[in-house]
Chains A and B, each alone.
Chain A
Amino acid sequence: MAELSTADGDMADARGTAGAAGAVGPADAGAPAATGESTPTEDTADAGDTVIATRGLTKRYRGGQLAVDGLDLAVPAGSVFGFLGPNGSGKTTTIRMLMGLIEPTSGTARVLGRPMPRAAGTVLPHVGALIEGPALYGFLSGRDNLLRYDSADPAADPRTRRARVAAALDRVGLTAAGAKKAKAYSLGMKQRLGLAAALLRPRRLLVLDEPTNGLDPQGMREIRSLVRELASDGTTVFLSSHLLDEIEQVCTHAAVMARGRLITQGPVAELAAGARGRLVVTTPDPADAGRVLKEQGAADVVVAGDRVTAEPPDRDLAEVNAALVTAGVRVRGFGVERASLEDAFVALTGEGFDVAG
């Protein structure tokens, strides 16, 4: 019996949902953008298309280390944008430049249509950020931590402060632990509190740097569903991660960095499609199967145990399967394994996903 399957059907589903949610995003994003912005409209129109746009963004640290090299990043409004790269590839430096914490050596960065870091005061109230893990005042309770961060924002209404803090705690499931001192929090709870700080006000852009670090599998699922939920509300989410499957599961778009350079960016589906899938035949007659596949025009046939893989030929795969059966090859499994983002990454960089030296 031949069994037709795609290896990562589940992931494709998940991505499809996120993609659909992202697609409605831009229309939604326009509304809060227009009403929430108290400043002239020239920039909001600009921000409708690209939430983050950098041109030639470069950072060279004192000591000469080139952390980010000529980055041209474009994050579409309403997308869930995965920012991928091994540790040390310049992701966090880029995020810090986008948030106005670090001055670029050269190049420009525009966030919500305005130049950073110059317009930090008007842009950042619309941006929630989790950068390089949460940072808390250990001697304050979780609630007091959020009250402090909220009072740091001069555009946040002090009259609704307590209500918004309570709502943010509720949203990340910390209501019960809100009165506890933050130093007693576990890493996962700190991560949640950091997320709550990013959600204190309605945001047009969320920048989440490794948001699932330190979380248990259940916590990771919750964060992913939270990200999808926020995206469906029209918030653009910029998500950095070194976990490929995390990006694959929630992101509509992605960019890949390595050694300070942008290697590629675009919709996740296109990135994965860039690396072609492979035809996989499981059979007790691998030698025969390999021969038949070659006859059928498949290239790069590899026989390993009872698995024969090849680049699929340009013809109906049903006929290929029929040819195998006609030739007397006993087929246990027959299908195309879709290329994962990891395959795409390896194809793009020609290297594994290791720490850059």
Chain B
Amino acid sequence: MSRAETAEASAGDGAAGGRAAAARAPGPLWTLGLLRNELTTTLRRWRTIALLGVLAAVPVLIGVAIRIETGDGSSAGGGGEGPAFIAQITNNGLFLVFTALAATLPFFLPMAVGVVAGDSVAGEANAGTLRYLLVAPAGRTRLLVTKYATTLAFCLVATLVVAASALIVGALLFPLGELTTISGTRISFGEGLGRALLIALAVAASLVGFAALGLFVSTLTNSGIAAMATTVGLLITVQILDQIPQLHAVQPYFFSHYWLSFADLMRDPVYWDDLVANLELQALYAAVFGTAAWARFTTKDITA
């Protein structure tokens, strides 16, 4: 009859022993076990890997398309319009990183974040696992913070996946070297790489507010699908409204309004105003919707 007691026994009959007594008092880091488990569970999940795979494919598509189009020596995006920096990719593969981020930021990246954020609480409720996490007891605030932290980690991972994929494709298909900033100055390839990393971080930070919005939506329903659809629907709505000139009075408050400010990191010197405005706006969204999600989730009757 080997059973749970074998492990427990050591804790139980060591009441006198200091080592066992220490084992019983919860360590301060134990509380992070849930975050670690949540991170590995989320990132190892087939759905997450598929989302990241789609994101990684975007730079490949852009890179290959430009390579084919410019095979005859003409310059990319010469006549038409395209994502920022697309015309410079043929000169320097590093620009594929900027182009890929500019291409994925409006929809692909936030859509993936919307899936993860929308499903975070509602998906657990849908599966019924939420009640078991809460009686474990995970603690409502702790669970919500864990979910948000994991969503933010996904924002960063997703952005870095796009950037890394673009860097690899850019290096394989195009020459690398010194690059010219928007302001016309030339910077070394090393500094260019640094700027690329900064831009990736700025893009990831751009998703913070939207992730909080998705988390809040996720606490409103017991259906993961409904939460994901609502979150992505909000994204599309806001992106459309942001294009309507008559709404310019409210547009600075849309979470996506300053998203493309990351291009300012390619100026020399860097133009910070919009970048800072973006970070402030994201922090505001995170505070407002994070609080709303907390208020909702900590008082909600868990009937699923």
Check A152 for interface membership: any CB of B closer than 8 A.
yes
- Beta-carbon contact of B3 and A135 below 8 Å: no
Check A167 for interface membership: any CB of B closer than 8 A.
yes
Query: Which residues of chain B from 1 to 26 have any CB-CB distance to chain A below 8 Å in the complex?
Result: 2-8, 10-12, 15, 23-26
- Beta-carbon contact of A101 and B133 below 8 Å: no
- Size band of the interface chain A makes with B: 35 or more
Give, as a whole number of angstroms, the nearest-CB distance from A212 to chain B: 18
Check B128 for interface membership: any CB of A closer than 8 A.
yes
Residue of B nearest to A123 (CB): B137
- Beta-carbon contact of A202 and B30 below 8 Å: no
Partner of A167, one of B7, B45, B136, B142: B7
Distance A154 CA – B25 CA, assembled complex (angstroms) = 11
Which residues of chain A have C-beta atoms less than 8 A from B46's C-beta? Answer: 139
Distance A163 CA – B3 CA, assembled complex (angstroms) = 9
Give, as a whole number of angstroms, the nearest-CB distance from A90 to chain B: 13
Give, as a whole number of angstroms, the nearest-CB distance from B133 to chain A: 5
Check A109 for interface membership: any CB of B closer than 8 A.
no
Check A103 for interface membership: any CB of B closer than 8 A.
yes
Partner of B25, one of A38, A102, A129, A132: A38
28 residue pairs from A and B, CB less than 8 Å apart: A32-B12, A101-B303, A102-B302, A120-B134, A121-B137, A124-B135, A124-B137, A129-B132, A131-B135, A132-B131, A135-B128, A135-B129, A137-B41, A149-B132, A150-B136, A152-B133, A152-B136, A156-B33, A157-B27, A160-B10, A163-B6, A163-B7, A167-B5, A167-B6, A171-B4, A200-B4, A202-B5, A202-B8
Check B183 for interface membership: any CB of A closer than 8 A.
no
- Beta-carbon contact of A148 and B302 below 8 Å: no
Interface centre among A103, A140, A148, A159 (most CB of B within 10 A): A148
Check B34 for interface membership: any CB of A closer than 8 A.
yes
User: Interface digits, A90-130 against B, CB 8 Å rule (1 contact, 0 not)?
Assistant: 00000010011111000000000000000011001101010
Which residues of chain A have C-beta atoms less than 8 A from B5's C-beta? Answer: 167, 202
Residue of A nearest to B130 (CB): A135
What total count of A-B pairs have CB within 8 Å? 138
Closest 3 CB pairs of A and B: A135-B128, A152-B136, A124-B137
With contact pairs A124-B135, A131-B131 given, residues A148 and B8 touching in the complex (Cβ less than 8 Å): no
Q: Given A102-B303, A168-B3, output 20 extra A-B contacts at Cβ < 8 Å.
A: A32-B12, A38-B26, A99-B131, A101-B131, A101-B135, A120-B139, A121-B137, A131-B131, A133-B128, A136-B127, A139-B45, A152-B133, A152-B136, A154-B33, A154-B34, A154-B137, A164-B7, A168-B4, A171-B3, A201-B8
Check A170 for interface membership: any CB of B closer than 8 A.
yes
With contact pairs A135-B131, A151-B36 given, residues A157 and B23 touching in the complex (Cβ less than 8 Å): yes
Give, as a whole number of angstroms, the nearest-CB distance from A104 to chain B: 10
Interface centre among B34, B132, B142 (most CB of A within 10 A): B132
- Beta-carbon contact of A154 and B30 below 8 Å: yes
- Beta-carbon contact of B4 and A199 below 8 Å: yes
With contact pairs A137-B129, A167-B3 given, residues A152 and B12 touching in the complex (Cβ less than 8 Å): no
Give, as a whole number of angstroms, the nearest-CB distance from B105 to chain A: 29
Which residues of chain A have C-beta atoms less than 8 A from B291's C-beta? Answer: none
Residue of B nearest to A133 (CB): B128
Distance A36 CA – B24 CA, assembled complex (angstroms) = 8
Check A153 for interface membership: any CB of B closer than 8 A.
yes
- Beta-carbon contact of A158 and B30 below 8 Å: yes
Check B70 for interface membership: any CB of A closer than 8 A.
no
Check B299 for interface membership: any CB of A closer than 8 A.
yes
Residue of A nearest to B139 (CB): A121
Which residues of chain A have C-beta atoms less than 8 A from B243's C-beta? Answer: none
| Chain A residues at the B interface, C-beta cutoff of 8 Å | 32, 35-36, 38, 96, 99-103, 120-121, 124-125, 127, 129, 131-133, 135-140, 144, 147-161, 163-164, 167-168, 170-171, 194, 197, 199-202
- Beta-carbon contact of B41 and A101 below 8 Å: no
Interface centre among B4, B10, B302 (most CB of A within 10 A): B4
User: Interface digits, B25-63 against A, CB 8 Å rule (1 contact, 0 not)?
Assistant: 111001101101100010001100000000000000000
Check B201 for interface membership: any CB of A closer than 8 A.
no
Which residues of chain A have C-beta atoms less than 8 A from B142's C-beta? Answer: 154
Which residues of chain B have C-beta atoms less than 8 A from A154's C-beta? Answer: 26, 30-31, 33-34, 137-139, 142
Distance A32 CA – B36 CA, assembled complex (angstroms) = 30
Distance A153 CA – B134 CA, assembled complex (angstroms) = 9
Interface centre among A152, A160, A167, A199 (most CB of B within 10 A): A152
Query: Which residues of chain B from 251 to 302 have any CB-CB distance to chain A below 8 Å in the complex?
Result: 299, 301-302
With contact pairs A102-B303, A202-B12 given, residues A197 and B2 touching in the complex (Cβ less than 8 Å): no
Distance A156 CA – B37 CA, assembled complex (angstroms) = 14
Residue of B nearest to A203 (CB): B4
Distance A163 CA – B128 CA, assembled complex (angstroms) = 26
Give, as a whole number of angstroms, the nearest-CB distance from B12 to chain A: 7
